[in-house]
Amino acid sequence: MNAPAPGHNQPAAIKATYVNWKTVTTRDVLQLIFEVPLAAQAETLSILGAPLSSESKWCAIALLREPGEATGAEAPAKERQNWDELSPTQQAGILCGDGQFIEFIEEQYAAGDYHNAADFVRVHCDVVSRKQLSTDELPREKWRALDQEYRQWAGLEAQQRG
């Protein structure tokens, strides 16, 4: 059963509680588990429709704030640092979570044999911990060369990161 497109008088969202998640490694996805009270079952079905194995349906997920809850706007914005002002350890921490950097090391270094980008960086820079990139000279130089090679590959300038 497919749900009709929400009209002006029909709600387009449901309120649910985020309770858990589950990784599905065979499909390379993360399942998010939300709970809706049974009393809202009919409304949920009318908005989302029943899930069908033959079709996927993209939905938006947003965090709801309770009335009177702080929005975070009161906190001052954190000042962004220039990429070159960050320590090598901070740079490596940022890039190891960056999809474009992961693509770079997979393409340029056939890094698919490593569990993750952090493992690759540790082996490439010959360190046990990425903290050593900020304390040991030779690993720091290896990191700087890898970072520079990545920025050239990606067409980035030092000032564009950070």
| Residue among 44, 41, 48 nearest 3 (CA) | 48
What percent of the chain has pLDDT above 70?
A: 80
End-to-end CA distance of the chain: 47
Average pLDDT of the chain to the nearest whole number:
81
Over residues 73-106, the pLDDT tens digits come to: 555 666 778 888 999 999 999 998 888 998 898 8
Domain residues for the domain of 118 are 83-155
Confidence of residue 152 (pLDDT cuts 50, 70, 90): very high
29 with 88, same domain: the answer is: no
Residue 102 to residues 105, 116, 126: CA-CA distances in angstroms?
A: 5, 8, 18
87 with 151, same domain: the answer is: yes
- The C-alpha atoms of residue 95 and residue 134 are separated, in whole angstroms, by 15
42 with 95, same domain: the answer is: no
Confidence of residue 160 (pLDDT cuts 50, 70, 90): very low
52 with 103, same domain: the answer is: no
**Residues 133 and 92: beta-carbon distance below 8 Å:** yes
59 with 88, same domain: the answer is: no
In the chain, how many domains are there? 2
95 with 149, same domain: the answer is: yes
50 with 102, same domain: the answer is: no
At 17 the pLDDT is: 84
Contacts of 159 (CB under 8 A, 6+ apart): 82, 83
106 with 147, same domain: the answer is: yes
Over residues 123-143, the pLDDT tens digits come to: 999 999 999 999 999 999 999
93 with 151, same domain: the answer is: yes
At 147 the pLDDT is: 95
At 70 the pLDDT is: 63
39 with 94, same domain: the answer is: no
- What is the reported pTM? 0.50
